A and B are shown apart, each in its own frame.
Chain A
């Protein structure tokens, strides 16, 4: 399996990049497309339709290609993977749990031993229901992925494929493990600080109070560094998202939950994942800029199971981007350097993956890597 990356600020640049990529006879069958919401997705999909290339696409909150970080661009990984080695599942439904179960059923019907890379809308879907839906159907299916972004406008994020686009649904790339070696790891590196706090009121991913104090007030007290705060996602991202809550779930997994939006009226914070009422949480911060080296070393551990990768997909949290800034590109570059093969990715509103000594879960502030190698 061969992979080539192309990118562009518009469809014309994409077409140019594509033409350059196929000059050596490279014949891609699948395009992994991560695109800013400012991009013309219809033109993109139409182009790949013309090329008879399957699209596995998502909108982003910033794009990653090899060792570069971009904004308002489209990055594409072209793969010449045999069509019988993969399937693309698309379905939009308000019932995330059910549609995720359908995804797992589809995957098991397609391959005896499948892996699933899933991307869903980042604003309307409870990602934990994706994991639950898949695992309730079959716990053995390896699951990786992320939540689509919308450049922090918080208006709508999309997943798309050929003849499919949804701001409420999901898209799955199902890979045959008998043909494609798929490995993944979710790694954060954030350290908790301060004393334990209690979520005294929450419904799903909306947290109303922490230690009986309005959630917004708590975050404003500690993390508002701009002159004023208003109800915009950008302010949240700039002020709060880098200080996620660390939560130990009932299943024993420790996950981070970053605030995505604020509801000024109810003084509530809307997080990128559920936080049950009564949970014990701690604030967390990135420990320092050597975090990038630590993340790289953790991903390097996958090399023993997949020594010669063909391609890499990176789902990196937007809040991580805010925290690491221009060094995010360095992180991507260092990870890419492990296998020295094409890497594509985007900044997400949440990541799905398995952390070290843990089970598959929904994360924030995490870099969830998927490494592919044709057997």
Chain B
């Protein structure tokens, strides 16, 4: 430690050795002066004593100066060392404070990052919700439109379906009547009298006409029947119950969806159905149909040319499991991890919104279910939906 008094401890009394030399030189000087020698020799000796005395003064000064300077330097250096130590301590303290602040900052940063992540999640959810709302609204409008069309078509097609059967019966009666006329003419030998009628029959090829009428009626009947199926599908798909949980037959929902998509896969894709005996499920049927529509549309689009789509439904415990598997192109790991992201699409610009699977995922999640995907490039994709049989509440 620095001792402020160190300098004052210097002994200023003359160095004993130097004092002794001083006295000695003075005595020597006196001795030379008293000597009975030549003036010149005496002067030389006295000059040498003078030089020695001067050297002694210099030595004395150097001694004192050195002692004082040494003390001064010691004082300054000790103080400097103490100050450097203090500075070191201050730096150490500052360093510790900085480290503590860094830890606080780090924690704050982590907290901010966590909040940021949470906010991003909220933002993403909000975006998804917004998109879902938009999509729901669109679907609701589409549903209303579809329901309106189905209703308008349903009545006329019912007329057609209802009239085909009596028309067929009436036609059968007419054919019977014509056949009776022809038999009577032949049995009574009245061919000559009915030559003109026969010619007319031959000209008009009445037999062909009658056969063709039957075929046409069957066509009308089949067309009316299929139209009824489509209308039924439309009505089923566009159920106006999207905001109400209802018991729904999911097999029926899949069938309706397939009916609507029929034109997009017929002649090239075989639908292999393995529908199990599954109970009705608590759900928003319209939304679940929307999921089927998205998954089946994707499966159809994933198959380039001919292929198969396997649809299997089953019940396990309190869940319904629906698997939709295609023999399409499949997807890479990178794509697979992103397909549920909003706006992610592998389709050409303008051909896909990138919202279908994101919305589907949201719908299944809302139903407290799970939507999983299994896929490999070139080996097709399988989407598996697990839905609970019953819903407590859905917000």
Chain A residues near B (Cβ < 8 Å): 193-195, 221-225, 227, 242-243, 283, 285-286, 289, 323, 325-327
Partner of A327, one of B8, B58, B71, B79: B58
Asked if A326 contacts B61 (CB within 8 A), the reply is yes
Partner of A223, one of B57, B58, B61, B75: B75
Instruction: Given A223-B7, A323-B65, verify A194-B58 contact (CB < 8 Å).
Output: no
Residues of A contacting B94 in the complex (Cβ-Cβ under 8 angstroms): none
Residues of chain B from 369 to 386 with CB closer than 8 A to chain A in the complex: none
Partner of B76, one of A283, A323, A327: A283
Residues of chain B from 5 to 19 with CB closer than 8 A to chain A in the complex: 7-8, 10
Asked if A225 contacts B68 (CB within 8 A), the reply is yes
Residues of chain B from 33 to 79 with CB closer than 8 A to chain A in the complex: 54, 57-58, 61-62, 65, 68-69, 71-73, 75-77, 79
Task: Determine whether B83 belongs to the interface, using a CB cutoff of 8 Å to chain A.
Answer: yes
Q: Give complex CA distance A87, B68 in Å.
A: 45
In the complex, the number of residue pairs spanning A and B with C-beta atoms less than 8 Å apart equals 54
Q: Give complex CA distance A164, B368 in Å.
A: 112
Instruction: Given A223-B75, A285-B73, A326-B58, verify A195-B4 contact (CB < 8 Å).
Output: no
Show 13 A/B contacts (Cβ-Cβ < 8 Å), sorted by A.
A221-B79, A222-B79, A223-B7, A224-B8, A225-B8, A225-B71, A225-B72, A227-B8, A243-B72, A285-B69, A325-B61, A325-B62, A327-B62
Asked if B61 contacts A327 (CB within 8 A), the reply is yes
Partner of A195, one of B7, B65, B68, B83: B83
Asked if A326 contacts B76 (CB within 8 A), the reply is no
A195 to chain B, nearest CB (A): 4
Chain B residues near A (Cβ < 8 Å): 4, 7-8, 10, 54, 57-58, 61-62, 65, 68-69, 71-73, 75-77, 79-80, 83-84
Main secondary structure of the interface of B (DSSP, over half): helix
Asked if A222 contacts B72 (CB within 8 A), the reply is yes
Asked if B57 contacts A193 (CB within 8 A), the reply is no
Asked if B57 contacts A326 (CB within 8 A), the reply is yes
Residues of B contacting A224 in the complex (Cβ-Cβ under 8 angstroms): 7-8
Asked if B72 contacts A286 (CB within 8 A), the reply is no
Q: Give complex CA distance A283, B77 in Å.
A: 10
Q: Give complex CA distance A323, B61 in Å.
A: 9
Asked if A194 contacts B8 (CB within 8 A), the reply is no
Asked if B58 contacts A193 (CB within 8 A), the reply is no
Q: Give complex CA distance A24, B10 in Å.
A: 55
Q: Give complex CA distance A222, B79 in Å.
A: 8
Q: Give complex CA distance A325, B57 in Å.
A: 10
B87 to chain A, nearest CB (A): 8
